[in-house]
Amino acid sequence: MNAMAVPFLITLACVLVELWYSHAKRGVAIPWRDVILNLNSGHILMWFFRGVEVAVFAWILTHFSLHWLDRWHPAAVWLFAILAWDLGFYWMHRLHHSFAVLWAVHVVHHEGEHFNLSLGIRNSWYSSLTTLPFTS
């Protein structure tokens, strides 16, 4: 199985479990139209641009690595990478709310009518291009 498909399938399973729970335990009608739109909001092109993003990461690693972490234990490298990525994601998200150009990319994420896990996936198809400065 494609490694890029695994996180998407896990997310899809979580979305379906949440929808089932909301319907079965709380009697909430499932907004299928919104859920399908959220899951499909430009994902074909977004995954293409994610590929571009990964290629840029690989190029930067190959040509501009300072080798600061080469002697670190792999667990420490993973921990550092997770914390650094989370910090970059925080600032990316905050700045997408602060600047009109970035907000124009991000606003799609906030246009859903029903708040559920599928809304977290709803993004503009070119949103991954605006993440590069924050995550590379």
Q: Is the pLDDT of residue 12 over 80?
A: yes
Range scoring the smallest mean pLDDT among 23-27, 93-97, 100-104, 123-127: 123-127
**What is the SS3 assignment for 20-67?**
HHHHHHHCCCCCHHHHHHHHHCCHHHHHHHHHHHHHHHHHHHHHHCCC
Those residues with Cβ within 8 angstroms of residue 22's Cβ, 6 or more apart along the chain or in another chain? 28, 30, 116
Q: Is the pLDDT of residue 17 over 90?
A: yes
pTM: 0.69
Please tell me the distance from the alpha carbon of residue 58 to that of residue 42, in angstroms, as a whole number: 24
Identify the DSSP state of 108.
Answer: G
φ/ψ region of 67 (left if φ > 0, alpha if ψ in -120 to 50, else beta) reads left
Task: Encode pLDDT of 45-92 as tens digits.
Answer: 667 777 787 888 889 889 998 889 999 999 999 999 999 989 998 999
Q: Which two tokens stand for residue 97?
A: 């709310």
Please tell me the distance from the alpha carbon of residue 126 to that of residue 95, in angstroms, as a whole number: 16
- Residue 121 and residue 54 in contact, taking contact as beta carbons nearer than 8 Å: no
- In the chain, the N- to C-terminal Cα span, in Å, equals 26
- Residue 47 and residue 128 in contact, taking contact as beta carbons nearer than 8 Å: no
